[in-house]
Chain A
């Protein structure tokens, strides 16, 4: 079947760049990709001969592995290029790196950087497709896509459903991207966290909740817990882990209420047990944390597939076909 209207998109930098239709196209494509995981051979030859470069300026095990598995299941060759976090990376040296890598005929660059905007900057300077794997506090679009995919598996009709994103909103690129995608898909979004960690610049469509009671009153279908980045505590954004847990975490008591209501739990991982949530949540049948990890591979395969025609359009191919 030909003829689906795929926009000529080179890069995936933020959810904001995507129209709702395009988001749905990617989410639809992720379904058959997930079906492949049931086969004895989980690999398809779609990106055979293409090269995917993981360019991570920030440490990451989960996202990097997820992209690596996604690319490998599409038969692409994967190069992992990790850059030490301690080295001071200036704009000029980034471009030098890109130049070097370009001469290796890379088709896709998966970029993570602690500074917002770096993937976009790289995208402007390379003909390769750039996928933002998290930049500063700015965006993490593939995380948002896999979260939307997971949400949609539970609630095929997303419009009108409710989600609360809880935790350190201020420093979270995940929160930003999740707000955007959920809003575009018609989900009602609320944010909950310490006042010091909820930015004033939060989008208008996000309801701000100031207590766990308010969360329960909002009565979300999904409670999305953000990972508390422990280094934030040193900067005095909140008094202590124990107090964070008591005021903003899923305690045993709150878990009992959520369980009664059948609220679904999501978390981008890795989890700090006893901080964002108590242990029991991990074995709760409506905890989607492991599903999110599995879906991450399918969603990233769908994104790589989605950007495929661009690879040819830019004349990056070296093989003598056509």
Chain B
């Protein structure tokens, strides 16, 4: 397995700044909620929230756990640990940006939208991801995207964040499957 650092800490920071700018342009005059998908989506949402707050916005914040909405639960050898969702704001009528680290098949996002819709009827849901690695299996596209990476289906793309992995970077694993 080949390990290749696609984006360095500085590039990750720059990408988050770009995402912040784009979101700010859309939401400088209207309310916004940022909802992170467990686990690294929550980190991205927190970062965006911090930088948007610096620019004078006050986004609502939430956390989504999609375990109970997965379409592959009964195919899994071990059950995901349920971390729980926290949506402390009124979803009805809200504009929500779902945040996740990597966009791949789109199935996680499908599940996340279903979770949100069970809390109420938002005005709109958008999607912010740090990296899009392609291979979509559902008609889902990011509204805000940090990087686009071309990968094989057998590859792995990992976003590392300081909060969860000591260091910000995007790593691409390719070649022989992990042993």
Contact = CB atoms under 8 A, between A and B. Distances in A.
Contacts of B72: 322
A43 B83 contact: no
Contacts of A40: 118-120
A173 B121 CA distance: 46
Interface stretch (A95-103, A136-144, A303-311): A303-311
B118 A44 contact: yes
Contacts of A88: none
A312 B73 CA distance: 9
A309 B120 contact: no
B118 A309 contact: no
Interface in B107-133: 114, 118-120
Contact of B85 (A32, A45, A306, A317): A32
A1 B83 contact: yes
A309 B80 CA distance: 11
Nearest to B114: A45
B38 interface: yes
B100 interface: no
Contacts of A234: none
A44 B67 CA distance: 10
A200 interface: no
A2 B67 CA distance: 9
Contacts of B79: 4, 6, 305-306, 308-309
B68 interface: yes
Interface residues on A, range: 20 to 34
Contacts of B65: 32
B119 A309 contact: no
Contacts of B114: 45
Given A39-B118, A39-B119, A44-B68, A31 B84 contact: yes
Interface string A128-160: 000000000000000000000000000000000
B78 interface: yes
Nearest to B121: A40
B156 interface: no
Contacts of A4: 78-81
Given A6-B79, A46-B73, A311-B74, A41 B38 contact: no
A225 to B, nearest CB: 32
30 contacts: A1-B39, A1-B83, A2-B76, A4-B79, A4-B80, A5-B78, A6-B78, A25-B81, A28-B82, A29-B81, A32-B83, A39-B119, A40-B118, A40-B119, A40-B120, A43-B118, A44-B118, A46-B69, A46-B73, A305-B68, A305-B82, A308-B74, A308-B79, A309-B76, A309-B77, A311-B74, A312-B74, A312-B75, A317-B74, A322-B75
Interface of B: 38-39, 65, 67-69, 71-85, 114, 118-120
Interface of A: 1-6, 25, 28-29, 31-33, 35, 39-41, 43-46, 74, 305-306, 308-309, 311-312, 317, 321-322
